[in-house]
Structure 1
C-alpha cells in the first residue's frame, strides 16, 4: 500500500507574489481618475495569482515495445491528474493580462505559463487491441506538465453607462502543452513488473468569440468584472469564464474572481480543466 503524503504548503514564490499584490494596494500613489471612453488612448496591466485545481484526462499511445508488455496487446493508457497536491510541484508560473483602449475599441491579451513537476497520477484504464479493459493490471504513475496559454482579441463596446459596460470580443487562443508520463505496471499474465515513460507535445490554435466588461454597484467603488469566451479549432474546442468582485482605487483596481478554463480535444478524447480563485491588481495609465 502506498503511503499517504503529508500536507504541503504552496511554494514560497506564490506566497510572496500574493503578498506583493496585496501590498501594492497601499503602496501606489494616487492618480486622477479618467473616463476610459473619452476617445484618448488608455492602458491597463494586471499581474495576478491564479490558484486553480488542475484536472486532465491525457491519453497516450504506447510505443510497440511498451505495448508488448501485455499478451493481449495493450496500446493505450488513460491517466487523470488529481488537483490535491499540484501546488507542491509548481516550479514556475507567470500570469499577466492587459488592455489598450481608444474610445469604443480595445485590444485585450492574457498569458499564462505553468511548469508542474512530477505529480502522482491515476491510470484510469489500460486497454487492449480490441478495446477491452485490462482490470487485473496493477499500476502507479507520475505526470509532469509544462503549458502556455495565450489569448489575444479585439473588442468593441456595445454599451456603457453608469451601470457599467459590455464589450464584444473576437480573437484567438494558443495552447502549447508538453507532458511526460511515467508508469510502473505489474500484470497478471505471468509478466514481471515493468516501468517506462512516454511524452506528448501539443500545439493548438483556436478562434474565439466572447464578451467581457463590468457591472458597477451604484455610486460606490465596488464593481463586478465578468468574462466569457468560446472557441473552436480543427480538432478542439475551448471555453473560459470569469466572474468576481473588485474595488476601484484612483490608480487602478483590486479584484478577486473565480475563473475556469477548459479544453477538449477531439482527436484523442483528451481534456484539460483549470478552475479556481484568482487575485489580481490592475494598474491604469
Structure 2
C-alpha cells in the first residue's frame, strides 16, 4: 500500500524537479533571433557629469564642469527611455535623453579679464535611432551591428543681472555606425551589456561618439535590470553650442521584454 502511494508521489516530485530544471535552463540573458517579433522598452536614469564650454555667441562662453551629483542637483526636468524591435536578424532601436539644467555662476568675457554672471540654463534633447542587424547569436553572446543617426537640439541661455539675456541654439543630425550587445557570465542569468557608436558629418559636428559598459541580470523572461557606465561626446564647430563636451556617468535601467 505504501509503495502504491509513494510511486505516484515520487513521479510528481520528479516531474516538478524536471520542470524547475528546464525553466532554470531556459532563463537566459541572451535573446534569440527568430521569425517572431520581440520588443524591449527600457526606462532609465542616467546621471552624467558634464565637462564642456558652452558657446553663447557675442564673445560669451561658459565653462561647465559638473559632477554627477551636481547634475542631479541642477536638473529641473528630464526624461530618458530607449526601445527596440526585432524580427529575424533585422531590428530597429531608438533612444531619447531630454534634460534641462540650471545653475548660477560667473561668465568669463574679454579673454578672461572680466566676468559677468548670474544664471545659465542648458536645455538639450538627444535622439539616437538606428537599423540593426544581428551578427552574432550564440548561447553566451549576442551582438548587433547598427547604422543610424543621432540628433541633438541644445539651447544655452544666460540671464545676466542688470544686463539682459543671451541665448544660443544648435540643432544637428549626424550619421553614426556602431555595435551593441551582451555577453553571458558563466552560464548564469548575469551578463555584461555593451554599446558603442561613432559618427560625424552633420555640418555642425566635427565628431560624436557614445559608449556604454556594465553589468546586468535577467530576473525573468519579461524583466532585466542593469547598472552601467555611459559616456557621450560632442565636438562641435565654432558655431555650435557644445564645444568639446563630454557627458559621462552611471546609468540604472530596467528593461521590459514582450
1:248 pairs with one of 214, 218, 224 = 218
Correspondence 1:273 to 2:255: no
Q: CA deviation at 1:235?
A: 2.3
Q: CA deviation at 1:138?
A: 4.0
Q: Distance in 1 between matches of 2:115 and 2:105?
A: 14
Correspondence 1:36 to 2:32: yes
Summarize deviations over 1:22-77 as a string: whole Å, max 9, x none: xxxxxxxxxx8585312211001000011111222112222xxxxxxxxxxxxx12
Secondary structure in structure 2 of the residue aligned to 1:267: coil
Q: CA deviation at 1:177?
A: 1.0
User: Match for residue 235 of structure 1?
Assistant: 204
C-alpha contact 1:81 1:122 (8 A) present in aligned 2: no
Summarize deviations over 1:207-259 as a string: whole Å, max 9, x none: 11001001111211100000000111212021100001000121221000000
2:192 pairs with one of 215, 224, 246 = 224
Which has the larger helix fraction? 2
Q: CA deviation at 1:143?
A: 1.1
Q: CA deviation at 1:122?
A: 4.4
Change (3 A) 1:138 1:113: closer
Summarize deviations over 1:172-194 as a string: whole Å, max 9, x none: 1111111101336xxxxxxxxx6
Secondary structure in structure 1 of the residue aligned to 2:131: strand
Residues 147-158 of structure 1 correspond to what in structure 2 (within 5 A)? Answer: 147-158=124-135
Secondary structure in structure 1 of the residue aligned to 2:72: helix
Q: CA deviation at 1:163?
A: 2.2
Correspondence 1:83 to 2:66: yes
Higher Cα Rg: structure 1 or 2?
2
Which has the larger strand fraction? 2
C-alpha contact 1:183 1:195 (8 A) present in aligned 2: yes
1:215 pairs with one of 180, 183, 197 = 183
User: Match for residue 141 of structure 2?
Assistant: 164
Residues 127-138 of structure 1 correspond to what in structure 2 (within 5 A)? Answer: 127=110, 133=111, 135=113, 137-138=114-115
C-alpha contact 1:225 1:244 (8 A) present in aligned 2: yes
Between the two proteins, the alignment pairs up a number of residues equal to 224
Structure 1: give runs of 5+ residues left out of the alignment.
Answer: 1-31, 63-75, 128-132, 185-193
Q: Distance in 1 between matches of 2:62 and 2:171?
A: 20
